[in-house]
């Protein structure tokens, strides 16, 4: 099936030779989609060509339009509005297109593994507290981008690095030692991550208490923050950990495992997974060796105290520490090491890091340092920087208790879905387990769609009230449309493999739906290039709106007497529902047969 854009470009090229004696470069021809208020499918803007045509915009457009109408059999008609040439394809082109989707249920997807291997890193939490709303955006984005890249033909490896060591986990460990009284997640009937998170909070409470009493006894605030005994103890614990102290190591393992099992259950609810996990405790020493190897290279230097730096002033960045004076690694060093390990293991074309935009600077530096080390593949490093999630009350702050917990939020969405569904009472005869699964589908669909429809780069507002709305541009609205189509298909029970498609049967409403189906491959491609699930969300919403319009303005299909028309419409319904389901699955959202 030759793309409309491609075919028309070639014809336009011919038109320029014929009409104006000019050989155009195909890249110069930019066809855009015709806006809804005009008749046509694709539009050629003539302004850039006026120097070649030496005629007015209107006249140029008219000449080209006439040429196309005469010489190109897929052009049905054209019209000119102020120098914009709107071109309409023939109904038979759309029929041919629809026919071409007959064979496959993977319409729009590129051949698997036809493109380069890429890696997507996302999630990458600290192990001292539970996941929250910010992590949800991260995980939904990362998982969706991975699916989209895969759909676009890439081999995709999903990874995360778990920040399992450092002062933060020591704080939780210390608080548990002091106040835990040998309780466990099991004994308290708490998820492991929540359990450990409580001790992190407990640490902070004690720490503040100590600071306050130090200040009261006359110590300066800055000094008090550094000298609080419980903090010193935590730092001592970190030193012991790094020295391999047995008791500390064993406690560390126990507490991390509690956290992992908690995370695992959260990931399962979210519906995300990974092909490979990296642990900071495994990789944090590796970057050090790599850095030391390059100490002689330009830009790298050593200070008198033994610390190692890189000078990036030539690239308009500043000097960056890579190894501390005591020889230990910093965050940057670990990321350098991890990046190198990944390259050695997987040789990817691109390494995508789904990390919040507060780390823009960090990733600029990371890519640059690796390039200075002479790694060509570092050019493939790309930071998929996304904006923070704000609440109506403002920014989330863990210390002020305004953090929205991931598990709580997902459960709340599920429960809201239940309330609404039960009010509508469409679920008679469904057993309890199926109902439960359905409520999760709807609740999570609402949440994921709400977050993913926004351009990742932009900061977004999360209003819990609005997110559970099931009307308008929402996940459940799209799911509902899917379920309704399934209901039609169940009732009619035709064999769609034998459907004969004929131009004479086509109505305007049918064509509108077909045209939007036609846009699906492009939507996948665009969202893959931009790494933006929002483009898929916008696409499928538009499809659903067009379909609902079709549905409203078409006589009941199930009762249609003309079998040819009936089967054609059913075929369109079926294709639409398939594209809805596939679009939603790219967002990590599943669609229900009933709801």
Partner RNA sequence: GGCUCCGUAGUUCAACUGGAUAGAAUAACAGAUUUCGGCUCUGUUGGUUGAGGGUUCGAAUCCUUCCGGAGUCACCA
Strand order in the sheet with 75-81: 31-33, 42-45, 84-89, 75-81
8 A C-beta contact, residue 178 and residue 188:
no
Among 166, 180, 337, 443, the residue binding RNA under the rule CB under 7 A is 166
In this chain, which of 167, 232, 314, 503 binds RNA, going by CB under 7 A?
A: 167
Nearer to RNA, 67 or 363 (CB): 363
Count of residues engaged in binding RNA, rule: CB under 7 A: 92
- Does 219 bind RNA (CB under 7 A)? Our answer is no
Nearest distance from C-beta of residue 327 to RNA, angstroms: 9
35 Cβ partners below 8 Å, 6+ apart?
43
**Lookup: tokens for 77:** 């008609």
**Smallest gap, in angstroms, from Cβ of residue 289 to RNA?**
17
Contacting RNA within 281-340 (CB under 7 A): 303, 305, 307, 316, 318, 321, 324-326, 329-331, 334
- The single residue among 212, 424, 436, 562 that binds RNA, judged by CB under 7 A, is 424
Binding range to RNA, per CB under 7 A, among 90-98, 241-249, 337-345, 421-429: 421-429
Residues with Cβ within 8 Å of 238's Cβ and at least 6 positions away in sequence, in order, are: 166, 167, 170
Q: If binding is defined by CB under 7 A, does position 454 make contact with RNA?
A: yes
Binding pattern to RNA, positions 254-283, x when CB under 7 A?
--------------------------x---
382 forms part of the interface with RNA (CB under 7 A) = no
Region 169-208 residues binding RNA, contact defined as CB under 7 A: none
Nearer to RNA, 112 or 555 (CB): 555
Contacts with RNA in 32-61 (CB under 7 A)? 32-35, 37-38, 40, 43, 45, 47-48
Binder to RNA among 114, 257, 415, 487 (CB under 7 A)?
A: 487
Binding of RNA by 126 (CB under 7 A) = yes
Quick check: 337 and 283 in contact, CB under 8 A? yes
Q: Which of 45, 86, 51 is nearest to 65 (CA)?
A: 86
CB-based contacts of 531, cutoff 8 Å, min separation 6: 145, 148, 149, 352, 382, 384, 456
Nearer to RNA, 75 or 180 (CB): 75
SS3 350: strand
Numbers of helices and strands, H then E, in the chain: 23, 14
Residue placing its CB nearer to RNA in the complex, 151 or 591: 591
Q: How far is the CB of 561 from RNA (least distance, A)?
A: 13
Tell me the DSSP string of 57-87: HHHHHHHHHHHHHHH-TTEEEEEEETTEEEE
Task: Confirm or reject binding of residue 494 to RNA (CB under 7 A).
Answer: no
Shortest distance (Å) from residue 366 CB to RNA: 10
For the CB of residue 595, give the shortest distance to RNA in the complex, in Å. Answer: 5
Among 30, 114, 261, 415, binds RNA (CB under 7 A): 30
Near RNA in 69-88, by CB under 7 A: 81-84, 86
Query: Measured from the CB of residue 492, what is the shortest distance to RNA in angstroms?
Result: 8
> What's the closest the beta carbon of residue 374 comes to RNA, in angstroms?
24
Q: Please, which residues have CB within 8 angstroms of residue 475's CB and are 6 or more apart in sequence? A: 442, 445, 446, 447, 448, 449, 450, 584, 589
Of 185 and 595, which CB lies nearer to RNA in the complex structure? 595
Binding to RNA in span 533-572, by CB under 7 A:
534-535, 538, 545, 548-549, 551-559
How far apart CA 46 and CA 29 sit, in angstroms, is: 10
Distance in angstroms (rounded) separating the CA atoms of residues 573 and 579: 10
- Conformation bin of residue 316: beta by default, left when phi > 0, alpha when psi is -120 to 50: left
Write down the least CB distance from residue 490 to RNA, Å: 8
Residues in contact with RNA, shown as a per-residue x/- string from 82 to 121 under the rule CB under 7 A? xxx-x-----------------------------------
594 forms part of the interface with RNA (CB under 7 A): yes
Q: How far apart are CA 546 and CA 36, in angstroms?
A: 12
- Residue 28 sits in the site that holds RNA (CB under 7 A): no
- Helix, strand, coil share of the chain (percent; to 5): 60, 10, 30
At 352, is the secondary structure helix, strand, or coil? strand
Report if residue 140 touches RNA, rule: CB under 7 A. no
Residue closer to RNA, measured from CB, 28 or 250: 28
User: Could you tell me which stretch among 63-71, 137-145, 163-171, 266-274 binds RNA (CB under 7 A)?
Assistant: 163-171
Instruction: Map the footprint of RNA across residues 513-532, applying CB under 7 A.
Output: 526, 530, 532
Among 277, 460, 496, 505, binds RNA (CB under 7 A): 460
In 3D space, the residue among 256, 239, 248, 266 whose CA is nearest the CA of residue 128 turns out to be 256
Coil, helix or strand for 393? coil
Q: In what order do the strands lie in the sheet with 300-302?
A: 300-302, 308-311, 319-323
Residue the block writes with tokens 């997640």: 185
Sequence-distant (≥ 6) Cβ neighbours of residue 29 within 8 angstroms = 9, 12, 13, 44
């Amino acid at each position: 099936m030759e793309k409309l854009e491609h075919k028309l470009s070639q014809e336009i090229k011919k038109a320029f030779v014929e009409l104006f004696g000019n050989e155009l470069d195909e890249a110069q021809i930019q066809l855009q989609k015709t806006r809804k208020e005009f008749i046509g499918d694709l539009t050629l803007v003539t302004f850039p060509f006026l120097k070649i045509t030496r005629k007015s915009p209107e006249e140029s457009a008219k000449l080209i339009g006439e040429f196309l109408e005469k010489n190109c059999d897929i052009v049905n008609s054209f019209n000119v509005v102020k120098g914009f040439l709107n071109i309409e394809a023939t109904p038979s082109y759309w029929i041919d297109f629809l026919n071409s989707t007959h064979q496959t249920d993977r319409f729009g997807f590129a051949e698997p593994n036809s493109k380069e291997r890429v890696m997507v890193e996302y999630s990458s939490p600290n192990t001292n507290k539970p996941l929250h709303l910010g992590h949800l955006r991260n995980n939904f984005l990362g998982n969706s981008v991975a699916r989209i890249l895969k759909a676009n033909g890439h081999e995709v490896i999903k990874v995360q690095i778990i920040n399992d060591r450092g002062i933060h986990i020591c704080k939780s460990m210390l608080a548990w030692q002091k106040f835990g009284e040998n309780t466990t997640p099991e004994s308290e009937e708490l998820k492991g991550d929540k359990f450990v998170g409580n001790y992190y909070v407990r640490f902070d409470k004690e720490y503040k208490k100590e600071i306050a009493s130090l200040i009261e006894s006359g110590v300066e605030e800055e000094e008090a923050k550094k000298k609080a005994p419980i903090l010193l103890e935590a730092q001592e614990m970190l030193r012991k950990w790094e020295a391999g102290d047995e008791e500390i190591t064993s406690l560390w393992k126990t507490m991390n495992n509690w956290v992992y099992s908690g995370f695992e259950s959260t990931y399962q609810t979210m519906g995300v997974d990974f092909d490979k996990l990296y642990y900071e405790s495994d990789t944090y020493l590796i970057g050090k060796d790599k850095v030391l190897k390059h100490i002689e290279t330009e830009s790298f230097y050593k200070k008198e105290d033994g610390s190692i730096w890189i000078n990036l002033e030539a690239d308009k960045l500043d000097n960056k520490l890579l190894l501390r004076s005591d020889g230990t690694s910093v965050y940057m060093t670990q990321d350098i090491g991890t990046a190198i390990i990944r390259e050695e293991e997987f040789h990817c074309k691109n390494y995508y890091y789904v990390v919040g935009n507060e780390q823009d600077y960090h990733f600029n530096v990371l890519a640059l340092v690796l390039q200075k080390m002479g790694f060509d593949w570092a050019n493939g490093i790309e930071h998929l920087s996304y904006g923070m999630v704000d609440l109506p009350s403002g920014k989330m702050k863990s210390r002020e208790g305004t953090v929205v917990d991931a598990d709580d939020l997902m459960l709340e969405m599920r429960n809201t879905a239940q309330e609404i569904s039960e009010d509508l009472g469409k679920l008679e005869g469904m057993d309890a387990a199926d109902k439960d699964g359905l409520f999760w589908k709807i609740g999570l669909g609402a949440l994921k769609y709400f977050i993913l429809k926004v351009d990742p780069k932009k900061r977004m507002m999360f209003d819990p009230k609005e997110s559970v709305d099931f009307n308008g541009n929402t996940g459940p609205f799209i799911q509902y449309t899917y379920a309704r189509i399934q209901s039609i298909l169940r009732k009619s029970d035709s064999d769609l493999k034998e459907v004969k498609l004929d131009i004479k049967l086509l109505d305007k409403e049918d064509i509108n739906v077909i045209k939007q189906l036609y846009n699906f491959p492009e939507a996948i491609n665009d969202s893959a290039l931009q790494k933006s699930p929002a483009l898929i969300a916008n696409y499928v919403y538009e499809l659903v709106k067009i379909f609902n319009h079709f549905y409203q303005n078409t006589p009941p299909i199930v009762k249609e007497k003309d079998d040819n028309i009936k089967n054609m419409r059913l075929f369109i319904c079926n294709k639409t529902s398939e594209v809805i389901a596939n679009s939603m699955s790219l967002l990590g959202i599943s669609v229900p047969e009933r709801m």
